[in-house]
Chains A and B, each alone.
Chain A
């Protein structure tokens, strides 16, 4: 899936807030830390970030509040103009776009969901969902039809004449999701979409979201400060701190092989057995005997088998082909924790 051009590709992106960010970026000594930049009177919202998002992939950007994750995603859609570096969306440098082309790009390719929903209070559910279609000048009949389709998709049928104020938080976010899907975007940005919701509703919305993603298969950039949410949803996770990306990897790699102290701390309390899959543990050069296990199983779900089995190496299959074998001992280490 990485053979073609990445959907979003950013190289050395900087976003600095302050009086004269461009001037500052030109004259600053390379390698300045976040705190040093702040001492100079500037805030590094995004600090030298290079990252790619591939087609059909779900990239979860995670970090604590103030780590720059929301800023970064706003750079992708050019809600913020970046200070340095380049961002290409489907091979096109978005900083070079004229306002008209930028609007066109947003009207045809991008959808975004916001933490506090960002619904227009004076418009009904239907009018909110149809809003992007109205902006691009679609006629009343077709936009109504399309809006009804997405409203059905997010399960709000029968509520289309309600006003946002008359809906619960979860329902409002469904409206936000429906609105962002109305134009059938290729790229879908979600900025902490479930953070403002109660834990129970949040879980329900995550399931709903996974269902939609299976249905639609979009390229997604998802922001969250909730590690469990990230692990649940992500193909890849980028962990940010002070505007910079600390590590960008699959969930398995993040928990197995944290690259920095910060990431290690983050992953410390995570039950690795629930994250790591058989496919990741499989060593392609090794081989085992007996019944293979499926690559998509987590260590946790293989727990009973791992304990009862006696083989040293267990073969791993993906689909119908054997891709290698995993060492039972190392899988048990993950399950029970090493050194303990």
Chain B
């Protein structure tokens, strides 16, 4: 999405942007007051049903045409067979699915050993412990098979996303027109709720692992494209010229000069691909993909909190392990060996890994406990944890707190706020959003805001869209109330900054699904649980960018403030915060995007918003409706994205950062 940084000379308007925005707000207020007094005609309050265009029907018609008449379904079903074969093979290797090549499953001990060796190779003892420990935990807690079901899809989806993302990234870098086509598609894809990926995947690629793998792959492609293009653009011109002067042909340039020089960015892309794949593969439980996600879904559904908690820990451990290892790979640089180092020493780690793998596989042939931990042999403490959690929730003060929050927050704050938002007439609401975009960003963004929200109104899902928006706004506001002070306080000392940043970084690698667990534990299946899960999810980027923004304020400026005799508070308010604001806005924007993402997932708890409707469409074949709902969410998210990012980049330019 190209956002113009130069502000065009405003057309001879009598009103400045902020004055115009004020007019919009005034008009909206008047309209709302008239509505309260009962003077507003109904058709101005909400778009009459009769006027709602049948977007869903049209989309369905288009889909059917593409699917049946153009024969896309035949193509995709053929692709399915190839994919199914791959998934079967990896399924056999990981958890012993009875398919070709019929050699699996790999004993858990061998897997743990390899994970430990890879960890050691990449990052020393800590990562070795993390890798091996994660595997051992998973096996001992009795979740080996479901974890491997998840991993078997990941092992296919992540490489697929990598290859496709890399190729598209190269194409976008090489040909401007590809870039122009891909960019808007990417920004929509990144805001599209994940349920919208799922249904087309189901329709075109059957239920189960194949559809899960496809949805996962598509979901993980965008960051790979972006990182590839970024890395290739950043290759130093002298390296490029050196390649040309060495007589490289075009292919040699790409293969030997560009791609290796962009190694860091490409590997960062790989890290993101893996993390997104894991997050998504867990979520594909909603379309019947077996594995950790499905188990978690079932356990949470039947309120078995102890088991849910254990599965949550497994998912988190896997996520942290994959993240740390792939990040360690990013920073790993080649180091030379002294002359005459023998072969075995050069390839020490590889040999050790192979030896451990072969050794443990052989042992497991004799001792089955090394191959598989059977039912009843695991150390799962589901029941006991359940009791523990229930006991904790029954402690007087905990009960009082959650009860108070439920009662006060819900009845006194959230519900009135929701009702108020719902009471605003549609045109007034659109005016308010336009005013927001106008005041923060500019006319272009305001026009986008009007178009996007009008489309939402036309979709016929206005009330549900507003409820979605209400959840997002309340959760982000609450998250800001907690996250910003935490960030500001942490940024005061180096030690705490790094600590909190580490927590944020780790928390960000957790698949979003995990955030539902504490929410449900504390608040059960209620509205508060929805808000709470979004809140903790959105708090992470807010805190993180606040710290980063404050820490990157140039030292000479804070020193200048100190020398001018500013107190801590004065320094914070008049020097640090203004300079950190653009960075904080990026965090705020990310928090809103995360919230839109989470609010849809929270539909699982039971909401009345777009997510709920979206989830319902998964059961059927209502592709048109599914898309209309998904695009509604995307349009709202995009409005905020465009406005806030424009504001942040304007502010940055003004501050000369």
Within the complex, the shortest CB–CB distance from B583 to chain A, in Å, comes to 30
Point out the residue from A112, A123, A132, A165 that lies within 8 Å of B333, measured CB to CB: A165
Within the complex, the shortest CB–CB distance from B185 to chain A, in Å, comes to 28
Q: How far is the CA of A176 from the CA of B241 in the complex (A)?
A: 12
Q: How far is the CA of A123 from the CA of B242 in the complex (A)?
A: 14
User: Do A103 and B247 contact each other (CB < 8 Å), given the known contacts A135-B252, A163-B334, A163-B336?
Assistant: yes
B238 within 8 A of A: yes
The segment from B129-137, B257-265, B391-399, B548-556 that touches chain A is B257-265
Point out the residue from B246, B257, B261, B336 that lies within 8 Å of A161, measured CB to CB: B336
Size of A's binding interface in residues, CB under 8 A? 38
Size of B's binding interface in residues, CB under 8 A? 25
Point out the residue from B247, B256, B334, B336 that lies within 8 Å of A107, measured CB to CB: B247
User: Do A121 and B336 contact each other (CB < 8 Å), given the known contacts A106-B246, A112-B245, A135-B246?
Assistant: no
Q: List, in ascending order, chain B residues with CB within 8 A of A110's CB.
A: 245
Residue of B nearest to A117 (CB): B238
Q: List, in ascending order, chain A residues with CB within 8 A of B244's CB.
A: 79, 106
Residue-wise, chain A 110-147 has the 8 Å CB interface mask toward B (1 for contact) of 11101111111111100000011011100000000000
- Count chain A CB atoms within 10 A of each CB in B244, B246, B249, B261 and give the residue with the most: B246
B245 touches A120 (CB 8 A): no
B239 within 8 A of A: yes
B621 within 8 A of A: no
Residue-wise, chain B 327-358 has the 8 Å CB interface mask toward A (1 for contact) of 00000011111110000000000000000000
B246 touches A114 (CB 8 A): no
Q: How far is the CA of A149 from the CA of B334 in the complex (A)?
A: 24
User: Do A116 and B249 contact each other (CB < 8 Å), given the known contacts A131-B256, A161-B336?
Assistant: no
Residue of A nearest to B246 (CB): A132
B522 within 8 A of A: no
Q: List, in ascending order, chain A residues with CB within 8 A of B570's CB.
A: none
A74 touches B241 (CB 8 A): yes
A262 within 8 A of B: no
B245 touches A79 (CB 8 A): yes
B387 within 8 A of A: no
Q: List, in ascending order, chain A residues with CB within 8 A of B334's CB.
A: 122, 124, 163
A250 within 8 A of B: no
Within the complex, the shortest CB–CB distance from A87 to chain B, in Å, comes to 16
Residue of B nearest to A111 (CB): B245
Residue of B nearest to A133 (CB): B246
Q: List, in ascending order, chain A residues with CB within 8 A of B263's CB.
A: 121-122
A118 touches B335 (CB 8 A): no
Q: How far is the CA of A114 from the CA of B238 in the complex (A)?
A: 7
Point out the residue from A79, A114, A120, A136 that lies within 8 Å of B247, measured CB to CB: A136
Residue-wise, chain A 72-89 has the 8 Å CB interface mask toward B (1 for contact) of 001001010000000000
Q: List, in ascending order, chain B residues with CB within 8 A of A111's CB.
A: 245
Q: How far is the CA of A79 from the CA of B238 in the complex (A)?
A: 11
Q: List, in ascending order, chain B residues with CB within 8 A of A124's CB.
A: 334, 336
Q: List, in ascending order, chain B residues with CB within 8 A of A74's CB.
A: 241
Residue of B nearest to A166 (CB): B336
B482 within 8 A of A: no
A277 within 8 A of B: no
Within the complex, the shortest CB–CB distance from A108 to chain B, in Å, comes to 8
A116 touches B247 (CB 8 A): no
Please provide the chain B residues from 220 to 274 with a CB less than 8 Å away from any CB of chain A in the complex.
236, 238-239, 241-249, 252, 256-257, 260-261, 263
User: Do A161 and B245 contact each other (CB < 8 Å), given the known contacts A115-B238, A122-B260, A122-B261?
Assistant: no
Residue-wise, chain B 287-302 has the 8 Å CB interface mask toward A (1 for contact) of 0000000000000000
Q: How far is the CA of A74 from the CA of B257 in the complex (A)?
A: 19
A179 within 8 A of B: yes
Within the complex, the shortest CB–CB distance from A205 to chain B, in Å, comes to 18
A104 within 8 A of B: yes
Within the complex, the shortest CB–CB distance from B329 to chain A, in Å, comes to 14
Q: List, in ascending order, chain B residues with CB within 8 A of A183's CB.
A: 247
Which A residues have a C-beta under 8 Å from some C-beta of B?
74, 77, 79, 103-104, 106-108, 110-112, 114-124, 131-132, 134-136, 158, 161-163, 165-166, 176, 179-180, 183, 189
21 contacts between A and B (CB under 8 A): A74-B241, A79-B245, A103-B249, A106-B244, A106-B246, A106-B247, A108-B247, A114-B238, A118-B239, A120-B260, A121-B260, A121-B263, A122-B261, A123-B260, A124-B336, A131-B246, A131-B256, A132-B247, A135-B248, A183-B247, A189-B245
Closest 5 CB pairs of A and B: A107-B247, A118-B242, A118-B238, A132-B246, A161-B336
